[in-house]
């Protein structure tokens, strides 16, 4: 795995920590790519015949597949190892970020206090965080996106920065900004004349994709909002450190305080699948409100919609992270009609596009291990929903 690009607030790592995480990565790759395909064989050789015997037909849904596979000893062992890899990863990264937390907090404070800042940070301690975000430690990140271990805590952001890089096995590039640069390049390619004056990135996290997107639009004024204060404190220090002007604000993407028609481009990246059935239409409606006439929204996420994966076994495999990696909405999102929601919100029907866009880092040869073993049929692509107001 290649390293992360250094910046002022990136937690450092000493020799033993590097060695430990190299082990964790190798372990995860082994479980996913070497052992993972054994699940399909277990299904074909044992699970499907057992289901046929009991029900008189082949499994017709992911739930049918789960009925037999959740009892299969190979799958149980694989699943347990997969979960252990994730826990080992966070344990090591937690120790690494935890031992330098005071220092990281000071750095973020200094960045926020600096007079010649390029961007800004606006926090709202009264913000009510929706339960789909506050009640879950998403993908098992200890403390989730909301750990507040001390005053001005940045631990959620620090852990997310190093965790997202390692969880993605470095496949999102050294700044973990693959979705942002991919979406930015997609826009430049499909709408070369589009020059947004103001851009808002909803659910911006620590700004990974916000900064990636900013590369495509160097003249734009960039804003990012997120629910997590610790994510945003870190995001602000990180953006300042790399010389990028971003205005971060702690807000719920479902209902923000930005004025009507105040942006030309509103984006979200890897946000939808961590929200809810109720939140997604609200976010799309909010995009409509925020956009100037003629402006665009674009949402990028994992390409896991069932229409791309009609086979019950493939859907079952994709359910693993829903049930065992604390991403409860991930499977549920896969049947949603996103284009229909955009149309209902008032977007120009002719402009609404859903696409699978090849990942730029994937194309540049960044090795990426599929979360699902060798069933890497979608290649390295991101799902996008684009619509014009
Ligand atoms: C998987 S992270 C992705 C972060 C960033 N977009 C990226 O791709 O690096 C999802 C982020 O969405 C934020 N989030 C979830 N629901 C949100 C909401 N309703 N409003 C604002 N942010 C939200 C979370 O706090 C988290 O930082």
Is the model's pLDDT at 55 over the cut of 80? yes
- Does residue 250's CB lie within 6 angstroms of at least one atom of ligand 1? no
Tell me which of 274, 282, 286, 299 to substitute to probe ligand 1's pocket, judged by most ligand atoms within 8 Å of the beta carbon: 274
DSSP class of 139:
G
Selection from 25, 34, 42 nearest residue 316 by Cα? 42
Atom of ligand 1 nearest to the CA of 179: 8
Residue 388: the pLDDT is 98
Express each pLDDT in 153-207 by its tens digit: 999 999 999 999 998 888 788 899 999 999 999 998 899 999 999 999 999 999 9
Q: Is 330 in the pocket of ligand 1 (CB under 6 A)?
A: no
Average the pLDDT over 297-318 and give the result: 92
Pairing of strands 198-202, 291-301: unpaired
Q: How confident is the model at residue 363 (pLDDT cuts 50, 70, 90)?
A: low
Q: Measured from the CB, is residue 156 less than 6 Å from ligand 1?
A: no
Average pLDDT, the chain: 92
Whole-number pLDDT of residue 369: 43
Distance 153 CA to ligand 1 centre (A): 18
Predicted confidence (pLDDT) at residue 1 exceeds the cutoff of 90: no
DSSP 3-state of 258: coil
Mutate to test the pocket of ligand 1, among 122, 123, 133 (most ligand atoms within 8 A of CB): 133
- Coil vs helix vs strand at 191: coil
Taking phi over 0 as left and psi of -120 to 50 as alpha, with beta for the rest, 195 belongs to beta
Alpha carbons 51 and 53: distance in angstroms, whole number: 5
**In this structure, what token pair is assigned to residue 121?**
């940070």
pLDDT of residue 170: 80
**Tokens coding 357:** 């866009």
267, 296 contact by CB (below 8 A)? no
What residues have CB less than 8 Å from 259, skipping those under 6 apart?
A: none
Cα separations in angstroms, 122 against 105, 227, 230: 17, 12, 12
**Using CA atoms, how far apart are residues 20 and 47, in angstroms rounded to an integer?**
36
173 lines ligand 1 (CB under 6 A): no
Centre of ligand 1 from the C-alpha of residue 24, in Å: 25
User: Is the model's pLDDT at 2 over the cut of 80?
Assistant: no
Q: Can you tell me the distance from the alpha carbon of 235 to that of 225, in angstroms, rounded to the nearest whole number?
A: 10
- Contact status, residue 75 vs residue 58, Cβ threshold 8 Å: no
pLDDT at 132: 96
**The CATH number of domain 1-389 is 2.60.40.10:** no
DSSP 301-365: E-S--GGG--SHHHHHHHTHHHHHTT-TTTTGGGG--HHHHHHHHT--GGG-EEEEEE-HHHHTT
Q: 80 with 205: CB under 8 angstroms?
A: no
Pocket test for ligand 1, best of 205, 214, 286, 328 (most atoms within 8 A of CB): 205
| Ligand 1 atom, smallest distance to 231 CA | 27
- Shortest-distance atom of ligand 1 to CA 228: 25
64 C-alpha to ligand 1 centroid (Å) = 32
Task: Report the greatest alpha carbon distance in the chain.
Answer: 72
pLDDT of residue 113: 95
Give all strands of the β-sheet with 198-202 in edge-to-edge order.
120-122, 246-250, 221-226, 198-202, 263-269, 291-301, 381-388, 353-358
CB-based contact 20:91 (threshold 8 Å): no
pLDDT at 120 over 70: yes
Q: Residues 230-256: pLDDT tens digits? A: 999 999 999 999 999 999 999 999 999
Q: Is 327 in the pocket of ligand 1 (CB under 6 A)?
A: no
Query: From residue 3, how far is each of 63, 170, 340, 344 by CA, in Å?
Result: 39, 8, 41, 44
Alpha helices in the chain (DSSP H): 15-29, 37-42, 48-55, 62-69, 73-98, 101-113, 131-134, 155-167, 178-190, 208-216, 229-241, 279-290, 312-318, 320-324, 338-345, 360-363
For ligand 1, say whether the CB of 270 is within 6 Å of any of its atoms: yes
Phi-psi region of 223 (alpha: psi -120 to 50; beta: other; left: phi over 0): beta
* All structural domains of the chain with their residue ranges: 1-389
Which residue, judged by its Cα, is nearest atom 1 of ligand 1? Answer: 270
pLDDT at 356 over 60: yes
- Given this model, what pLDDT does residue 14 score? 94
Q: What spacing in Å lies between the alpha carbon of 149 and ligand 1's midpoint?
A: 20
């Amino acid at each position: 795995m290649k390293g992360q690009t250094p910046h002022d607030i990136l937690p450092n790592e000493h020799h033993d920590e590097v060695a430990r995480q190299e082990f964790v990565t190798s372990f995860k790759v082994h479980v996913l790519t070497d052992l993972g395909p054994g699940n399909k064989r277990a299904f074909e050789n044992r699970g499907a015949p057992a289901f046929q015997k009991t029900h008189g037909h082949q499994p017709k849904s992911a739930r049918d597949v789960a009925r037999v596979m959740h009892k299969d000893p190979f799958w149980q062992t694989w699943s347990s190892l997969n979960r252990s890899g994730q826990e080992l990863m966070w344990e090591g990264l937690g120790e690494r970020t935890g031992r330098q937390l005071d220092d990281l907090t000071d750095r973020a404070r200094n960045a926020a206090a600096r007079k010649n800042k390029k961007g800004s940070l606006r926090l709202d301690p009264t913000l009510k965080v929706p339960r789909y975000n506050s009640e879950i430690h998403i993908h098992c990140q200890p403390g989730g996106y909301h750990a507040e271990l001390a005053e001005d805590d940045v631990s959620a952001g620090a852990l997310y920065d190093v965790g997202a890089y390692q969880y993605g096995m470095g496949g999102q590039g050294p700044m973990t900004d693959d979705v942002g640069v991919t979406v930015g390049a997609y826009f430049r390619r499909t709408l070369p004349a589009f020059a947004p004056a103001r851009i808002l990135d909803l659910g911006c996290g620590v700004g990974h994709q916000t900064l990636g997107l900013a590369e495509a639009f160097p003249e734009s004024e960039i804003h990012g909002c997120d629910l997590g204060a610790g994510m945003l404190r870190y995001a602000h220090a990180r953006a300042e450190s790399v010389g990028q002007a971003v205005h971060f604000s702690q807000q719920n993407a479902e209902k923000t305080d930005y004025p009507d028609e105040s942006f030309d481009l509103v984006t979200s990246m890897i946000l939808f699948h961590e929200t809810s059935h109720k939140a997604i239409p609200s976010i799309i409606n909010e995009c409509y409100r925020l956009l100037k006439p003629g402006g665009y929204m674009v949402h990028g996420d994992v390409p896991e919609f069932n229409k791309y994966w009609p086979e019950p076994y493939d859907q079952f495999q994709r359910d693993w992270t829903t049930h065992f990696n604390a991403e409860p909405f991930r499977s549920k999102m896969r049947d949603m009609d996103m284009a229909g929601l955009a149309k209902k919100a008032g977007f120009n029907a002719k402009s609404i596009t859903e696409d699978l866009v090849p990942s730029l880092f994937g194309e540049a040869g960044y090795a990426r291990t599929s979360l699902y073993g060798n069933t890497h049929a979608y290649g390295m692509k991101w799902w996008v929903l684009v619509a014009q107001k």
